[in-house]
Amino acid sequence: MKIITIEEHFSSPKISDKMKQFQPKSNDAEKNKDMQELIKHFLPTNDDIEDVGVRRLKFMDESGIDMQVISYGGGSPQGITDPKIAVELCAEANDELAHLIKQNPTRFAGFAALPVADPVAAAAELERAVKSLGFKGALLAGTFQGKFFDETEFFPIFEKAAELDVPVYLHPGIIEKGVADHYFRNDNWSKLVNGVFPAAGFGWHMDSGIHVIRMILSGVFDKLPNLKLISGHWGEFVPAFLERLDETLYPEITNLKRTISEYYKEHVYITPSGIFSETQLQFAIAQMGADHIIYSGDYPYLIKNETGDFLKNASISEEDKAKIGHLNVEKLLNL
C-alpha cells in the first residue's frame, strides 16, 4: 500500500547560523530554562533533521513510506521580525529545500516557509515557491509576535493560497510565555515537566486548535471558499468539540453563513502527526470522514519504525486506508 506523509521536517545549518544574528534580544520562551530542558530531551539530532537524503530515505524504506512532504522545522525563518531579513532567509530556505527535493523528486515534495513579518511579500513568496519551485503549499508554525493569523493583516497569505489552490498547514509553535506560565507551569514541578506541558505535552496543541477555530470565526472561508487548511495531531483537540462549538457558537451570533463544524469538515484536513492510536483513528473517521484525513509521522521529531505498519494494520477498510495513505493527499496537493 502506498503511503505519503506530510508533517515531516528539516532544517538548514546555513539558515540556522544566519538566523542567530537576527534573533530578538529578549525572547523569554527561548531563554526559559524549562524550554531548554525540552530542547535537550526532545529535539532531534542535527544529523537527522538536516539530512534530506541517505538517513531519511533509509528510515522511509524501512518504515514503508513512499513519499514525505517536507517543511521547515523548529527555528524557521518565518519567525524573524525584520521583514527584509525574513524575506531573504525564507526564500533561501525554500531554495535549499527545493534543491534537495530535486535530488529525489519521487520521494520528496515540499511546503514553503513564509516571511509573515511582511504578509504581502509572504504571499509573493508562496506564489514563487509554488509556481517556480514546485512546492505544494505552505506551513505556518504557531503565531507571530503574539498575533494569530486570523488578523486581517495576514489575509493576503490565505488569499494567495486559495488563488493557487494549495493548502496552508497550521502547525503548533511556542506559545506566549504568559499563557504558558499561567496554565502549564508550577514551581513545584520539574524543569522538564514545566518545559513539556506547555509545549508538546499539551499547550501548543491547544493553541494550534484555537488557531483553526479563530480562522473559522474570522469568516475567512466565506471570503475564500476555496481555502484549505491542514491541522495535525488529529486536529489539535477540535474534532472532539465540534458539537459543542455548534451549540454555543451558532451562526446567529457569529454572523457566519454556516456552523463551525460545516466549515471545519469541508475546509480542514487532519493528520495524526505520529500519534498512532487506533482509538483516535476510528474517532477521526467517524467525525470527519476518511476523505479529510491525511497521513503524517512528524519525522524526525518522532522516528517511529511502525509509521507505515500502523495504517496498514489498522482495523479500517482497505478503501479508507488507501484514502488516508495516499489518495487524499494526492488530490489535495496535486501530486
Residues designated as active site: 298
Contact criterion met (CB below 8 Å) for 6 and 69: yes
Contact criterion met (CB below 8 Å) for 313 and 280: no
Task: Report the SS3 class of residue 216.
Answer: helix
Half-sphere exposure of 217 (CA within 13 A, CB side): 17
Q: What is the distance between the alpha carbons of residues 296 and 230, in angstroms, rounded to a whole number? A: 11
- List Cβ neighbours of 143 (8 Å cut-off, separation of 6 or more): 149, 173, 175, 176, 207, 211
* C-alpha cell of residue 72: 521547515
For residue 281, give the H/E element and its range.
Answer: helix 278-288
Contact criterion met (CB below 8 Å) for 236 and 209: yes
CA 103, 105, 107, 109 torsion-angle sign: positive
Of the candidates 330, 334, 335, the residue with the CA atom closest to the CA atom of residue 295? 330
Compute CA distances 55 → 9, 12, 47, 62, whole Å. 13, 15, 8, 11
Q: What is the distance between the alpha carbons of residues 61 and 68, in angstroms, rounded to a whole number? A: 11
How many CB atoms sit inside 10 A of residue 2's CB?
Answer: 13
* C-alpha cell of residue 115: 516571511
Which residue has 525540552 as its cell numbers? 38
For residue 132, give the H/E element and its range.
Answer: none
Among left, alpha and beta (phi > 0; psi -120 to 50; other), residue 255 is left
